[in-house]
Amino acid sequence: MARTLRRFAWATGLVCIAIGLFHVLAGNAAIPGATDAGATVDSLGRFFGAVFAGYGLAWLWAARQDPVPARPVRWLAAVFLLGGAGRLLSLAEHGWPHPFQVALTVLELALPPVWFWLSDADERAFRQRRPDGAPTAEQSVPTREAT
């Protein structure tokens, strides 16, 4: 499960960065149904694209830690879940969006429970490998004994 968490975090980070940069570069063209939405929506979309790319960088940061820290994974998952909740509020207030947005809502509500479930997998595996926290033989640096 620890390997799954690390790979999932890497994949999430890379996908979020790609999506974010696409929104920064394409503006309204990146939003289904919003190609003629105007300068205000274009500006907002490009701004949030940069924020989403930064969110992806946070996932990559977490994935590079050894062990992958559970607390940041939970926070990142919670932010994603909050985005899905925001989409639900929009649906309740304004009705059904473009079908692609509905699919994104499903992902934003379905993936966080998986991240929450996996969040401490690498920390648990790390404790099982070295319960005392001491370095492994490969991590130890040989020392010269005084003669």
pLDDT of amino acid 132: 64
Q: Are 36 and 44 in contact (CB under 8 A)?
A: no
pLDDT of amino acid 140: 41
**Nearest partner of 25 among 40, 8, 42, judged by Cα:** 42
Q: How far is it, in rounded angstroms, from Cα 1 to Cα 142? A: 33
**Nearest partner of 100 among 26, 19, 39, judged by Cα:** 19
Name, in order, each residue with C-beta under 8 angstroms of 122's C-beta and a sequence gap of 6 or more.
Answer: 2, 5, 6, 66, 67, 68, 70
The list of the chain residues with pLDDT below 50 reads: 135, 137-143, 147
**Nearest partner of 83 among 113, 104, 58, judged by Cα:** 104
Question: Each residue of 68-93: pLDDT tens digit?
Answer: 999 999 999 999 999 999 999 999 99
